[in-house]
Chain A
Amino acid sequence: MSDQALVNQPPRRRFAAIGPIFRRIVREPLGAFGLILVVIVVFSALFADVIASYPPTKLSPAERFAPASFQHLLGTDHLGRDLFSRVLHGGRIALAIALGATGLSLAGGILLGLIAGYGPRWLDNLLLLLFDAIKSFPTVMLALALVTLTGPSLLAVLAVVVLVNVPGYARIIRTQTLVLKSAEHVMAARSMGAGTARILAVHILPNVIGPILILASMDIPVVVAIEAGLSFLGLGVRPPLPSWGAILNDGFVNIRDSYWIVVAGGVPIILTTLGFTFLGETLRDVFDPRLKRRQ
């Protein structure tokens, strides 16, 4: 049956143009919803300076704890800073960290995964042991330990996120590489005399990179959550800088009388993580439905 269906198919490129993929994402209600949220978040982060009417760190002691109003769309915090503008600027930091950390962990994960999967057995075992060891630290505990030494900083957050994410990607790449290493098309390339670099670049990497990119896109909300969480604990962004986690912390301290601060800090986190997750899920279903099982 399926064989037959393939036989008479006209030649078609595996990755069609962006257009049809976009249409398929939008056709799914969740995908469309996710896409809209992501566009809003990215847009407001990019143009934070233009949209916001106040600088995010400007103090105005006269307006402390002001509820939402036309002057201050989301109200003000305990120092009288405009929460709307802090939220917009906080989005910049959240996205920058998310993209940067995900990109770095991807690069590291792919490299180590290929080495572990295609390299000698002892190196594979050693790397696996390292991955397992890193994975055995609870993320936040590791972050707490690191920050105790370095003091709170964005760099520390970045380092923790990359450190805990690399093993996950590397393991997936390694498993796939191991499977492909003995696959017939790779054996065929070896039998033709292809070198290691060629085999990795032409015959293995293109076949493992798709799924990992989709998985990474689904990790963006996780990184947003880690950054916000660490900033909430006061371990990430340093005080004057706006961060959603820091806003949440400001609000948490005053939760009994100024509820709008936690709302201002938390809602963007929820919208961002939901948006990226819904979009990522839809992307995965469109590109590679088999991946669903690996979750």
Chain B
Amino acid sequence: MLQYALKRLGLSVVIVSVAMAMLFAMIYVIPGDPASVALGPRATPEMVQALRSRMGLDQPIWVQFARFYFSALRGDLGIEILSGRPVLGVVFEQLPFTLALIAGAISWSVLLGIPLGCVAAIRRGGFVDRVIGVLSVAVIAVPSFVIAIYSLLIFAVALQWLPAIGAGEPGNLGSQLKHLILPSLAIGVGWVGYIARMVRASMLETLEASHIRTARAFGLPESRITYSYALRIAILPTITLLGVGVGTMVSSAVFAEIVFARPGIGKLVYEAISVRNYPVVTGAVLVTTVFFVVVNAFADIIIAALDPRVRSSFS
């Protein structure tokens, strides 16, 4: 088990390294170098040249990459161009807001999605199942930023039930939660659909397995078969799905933060673009990527810990 966990985390390190190389290659390959991008069209060639050497862009490519890679390992993602503060600090300042948003979205999707999926599987083919099915597909289909804008329009602008902008007063948990409801729902509602469908499908698949037939042939009560024999297996893919989903949720969070004018990484990057604050953009991309990769590794490790088949094959 420990061996599996180490192996999986090791793989994550490799994936992040490759992702960094790709990010670096992207910066390098695309015409228009970061220095002139940062300085804007009015910069003189001398200014660009000065910044280039300050950013190390005049070095050979592999030196640049090694520097980029190893300073990132140390947590040094460069200096923010406008204020001169370390990028990592700027990003970490915004990270908690985004994490809260994603945690909220995951809560919605788990708390609503798993029970809905179970109900649909148990009542398969019935009216309830069909309604849940159609609603799941519908919320998956509609993009989260459209949901964000429309829920803002309806609940905050027209009905004025919930606050429209910001993350709430610092230190006031109630106000912060209130501000979290709409944006996290906008991100999470699609995932309620995903989870419900996934749980339904994997419940149905598990219920067809021959060991369930054995359990029935031994006269076990249907409730025990459903909840302790089938759900235990059917729940496993949900964890993988949520792990993968975190990436999409980070994307959705960008929209939610802009629509609801919440602080967060998405908003940080969006604003950095308009002033061509390139180090902030790369830094934020790296931090979210690492976050996503680590979350996925943990999702896999949790599954391994819950599934005796995987657990013992590595012990």
Q: Does B207 contact A (CB under 8 A)?
A: no
Q: Does A130 contact B (CB under 8 A)?
A: yes
State which residues 252-295 of A face B: CB under 8 Å: 252, 255-256, 259, 262, 266, 269-270, 273-274, 276-278, 281, 292-293, 295
Contact status B26-A146, CB under 8 Å: yes
Q: Does B281 contact A (CB under 8 A)?
A: yes
Please judge, given known A-B contacts A30-B134, A232-B255, A270-B146, whether A138 and B289 are in contact too, CB under 8 Å. Answer: yes
Q: Which residues of A contact B307 (CB under 8 A)?
A: none
CB distance from B267 to the nearest CB of A (A): 11
State which residues 20-70 of A face B: CB under 8 Å: 30
CB distance from B78 to the nearest CB of A (A): 14
B interface residues with partner A (beta carbon < 8 Å): 14-16, 18-19, 21-23, 26-27, 30, 32, 34, 37, 134, 137-138, 140-143, 145-146, 149-150, 152-153, 157-158, 197-198, 201-202, 205, 247-248, 250-252, 254-255, 258-259, 266, 269-270, 272-273, 276, 278, 281-282, 284-285, 288-289, 292-293, 296
Residue of B nearest to A129 (CB): B18
CA distance A232 to B255 in the complex (A): 9
CA distance A25 to B152 in the complex (A): 36
CB distance from A161 to the nearest CB of B (A): 12
Q: Which of A100-108, A147-155, A186-194 contacts B (4 or more CB under 8 A)?
A: A147-155
Q: Does A199 contact B (CB under 8 A)?
A: no
Q: Which of A72-80, A110-118, A177-185, A221-229 contacts B (4 or more CB under 8 A)?
A: A221-229
CA distance A293 to B197 in the complex (A): 9
CB distance from B17 to the nearest CB of A (A): 8
Q: Which residues of B contact A141 (CB under 8 A)?
A: 250-251, 254, 269, 284-285, 288-289
Contact status B247-A135, CB under 8 Å: yes
A interface residues with partner B (beta carbon < 8 Å): 30, 129-130, 132-142, 144-150, 221, 225, 228-229, 232-233, 235, 248, 251-252, 255-256, 259, 262, 266, 269-270, 273-274, 276-278, 281, 292-293, 295
CA distance A273 to B146 in the complex (A): 11
CB distance from A132 to the nearest CB of B (A): 5
CB distance from B6 to the nearest CB of A (A): 18
19 extra interface residue pairs, beta carbon distance < 8 Å, beyond A136-B19, A140-B254, A235-B273: A133-B15, A133-B16, A139-B247, A140-B251, A142-B285, A144-B254, A144-B285, A145-B23, A149-B278, A228-B143, A228-B146, A229-B255, A232-B145, A232-B255, A233-B254, A262-B149, A262-B150, A269-B146, A277-B137
The 3 closest A-B pairs by CB, nearest first: A225-B143, A140-B251, A277-B141
CB distance from A45 to the nearest CB of B (A): 18
Contact status B26-A149, CB under 8 Å: yes
Contact status B292-A136, CB under 8 Å: yes
CA distance A276 to B258 in the complex (A): 27
Please judge, given known A-B contacts A259-B153, A274-B138, whether A145 and B281 are in contact too, CB under 8 Å. Answer: yes
Q: Which residues of A contact B289 (CB under 8 A)?
A: 136-138, 141
Q: Which residues of A contact B16 (CB under 8 A)?
A: 133, 136
Q: Which residues of A contact B26 (CB under 8 A)?
A: 145-146, 149
Q: Which residues of A contact B281 (CB under 8 A)?
A: 144-145, 148
Contact status A148-B276, CB under 8 Å: yes
CA distance A17 to B269 in the complex (A): 51
Residue of A nearest to B27 (CB): A149
Q: Which residues of A contact B254 (CB under 8 A)?
A: 140-141, 144, 233
Partner of B18, one of A133, A228, A278, A281: A133
Q: Which residues of A contact B149 (CB under 8 A)?
A: 248, 251-252, 255, 262, 266
Contact status B293-A136, CB under 8 Å: yes
Residue of B nearest to A146 (CB): B26
Q: Which residues of B contact A139 (CB under 8 A)?
A: 247-248, 251
CA distance A129 to B15 in the complex (A): 6
Contact status B143-A229, CB under 8 Å: yes
Contact status A130-B18, CB under 8 Å: yes
CB distance from B138 to the nearest CB of A (A): 6
Contact status A273-B141, CB under 8 Å: yes
CB distance from B68 to the nearest CB of A (A): 14
Partner of B278, one of A148, A248, A274, A293: A148
Q: Which residues of B contact A293 (CB under 8 A)?
A: 201-202, 205
Q: Can you report 14 A-B residue pairs in the complex whose CB atoms are below 8 A from each other?
A: A136-B247, A136-B292, A139-B247, A140-B250, A140-B254, A145-B282, A146-B30, A148-B273, A148-B276, A232-B145, A251-B149, A262-B150, A266-B146, A281-B137
CB distance from B251 to the nearest CB of A (A): 4
CB distance from A256 to the nearest CB of B (A): 6
Q: Which residues of B contact A277 (CB under 8 A)?
A: 137-138, 140-141
CB distance from B99 to the nearest CB of A (A): 13
Please judge, given known A-B contacts A130-B18, A225-B143, whether A233 and B258 are in contact too, CB under 8 Å. Answer: yes
